[in-house]
Amino acid sequence: MGKRIDGNAISASVKAEVANEVEALRNKGISVTLAVILVGEDPASQIYVRNKKRACEALGIISEEHLLPADTTQEQLLSLVEELNLRPEINGILCQLPLPKHLDEKAVINAISPQKDVDAFHPQNVGGIMIGDGVFLPCTPAGVMKMLEYEGISVAGKHCVVIGRSNIVGKPMAMLLLHQNGTVTICHSKTQNLKEICRTADILVAAVGKAKFVTADMVGPGAVVIDVGMNRPAGGKLCGDVDFEAVEPIASAITPVPGGVGPMTIAMLMRNTLTAAKLQNGLSV
């Protein structure tokens, strides 16, 4: 039976470190502030934004919420981003995705100052991730790396299979695993022989966005299985991309949903916000 990797416990340890550093900054007269923008009323996004706000409050980080109506125009959104870019007391800016269809996500991401881009979505920060010297690490992939490190699971030389190639998770996840000397395969919806490739993984990261997509026959004995999925089937409870009950007995370690990667994403966002505040105040990180 695989060990359940406890994302709540690991995120608590990261958040405790961040809270200590936030307090040390406060004692020097430096505050840490995150601005969060949410456009529209997508229920899942509302939950994520609420959880981010709660985490900020618990850690002594000031959170400034900007809840905009669904019919906000591109101009209005860009002018808010510009205002937040210019305000020196705002250290981090996060615009919750996805945006309503009529808005241009790419243009909004590009408009956020790279120094305040705590999601690490701006092309300048994405480039930093690619060459291995990113200031901000993307929150979810960085959270996964932290979990592996905390559990003493080494990546070097291992076959790491990432299912999913999104800009937010799949692609940066592959890069972080590569930087730790993993041998990385990225699979996606057009991949042939997906099951066979997944079965050869020492570390399998599922970032597909489909409930219970990873079944027992896709997992080799003793694999480490990381589930990035956050699926909410209509009327059902939150569920990952992995068929947890079937895969747990085969894996050597596995992350549950909820209580796995999700809390780590928020912890790493808090760390990035702290990093932004330190750099903007001329401190080393």
According to DSSP, residue 16 is labeled H
Burial of 142 (0-12, 13-18, 19+ CB in 10 A): buried
139: contact with ligand GUN by CB under 6 A: yes
**Cα–Cα distance for residue pair 168/122, rounded to 1 Å:** 11
Among 52, 116, 146, 171, the active-site one is 52
Here the tokens at position 81 are 């981003």
Site string for ligand GUN, 107-126 (x = CB under 6 A): ------------x-------
**Cα–Cα distance for residue pair 169/261, rounded to 1 Å:** 12
Here the tokens at position 119 are 């999601």
List 19, 97, 197, 246, residue binding ligand GUN (CB under 6 A): 97
168: contact with ligand GUN by CB under 6 A: yes
- With both helix axes pointing from N to C terminus, report the angle between 7-27 and 43-59 in degrees, rounded to the nearest 10: 50
Among 15, 115, 116, 119, the active-site one is 119
**Cα–Cα distance for residue pair 124/63, rounded to 1 Å:** 25
Check if 46 is active-site: no
94: contact with ligand GUN by CB under 6 A: yes
Restricting to residues 230-249, which ones interact with ligand GUN according to CB under 6 A? Answer: none
Instruction: Give me the residue whose beta carbon is nearest to ligand GUN.
Output: 97
Q: Are 16 and 76 in contact (CB under 8 A)?
A: no
Looking at the Cβ atoms of 203 and 228, the one nearer to ligand GUN is 228
Query: Measured from the CB of residue 222, what is the shortest distance to ligand GUN in angstroms?
Result: 30
Looking at the Cβ atoms of 2 and 263, the one nearer to ligand GUN is 263
Positions touching ligand GUN (CB under 6 A) are: 94-97, 119, 139-140, 168, 265
Q: Could you list the active site residues?
A: 52, 96, 119
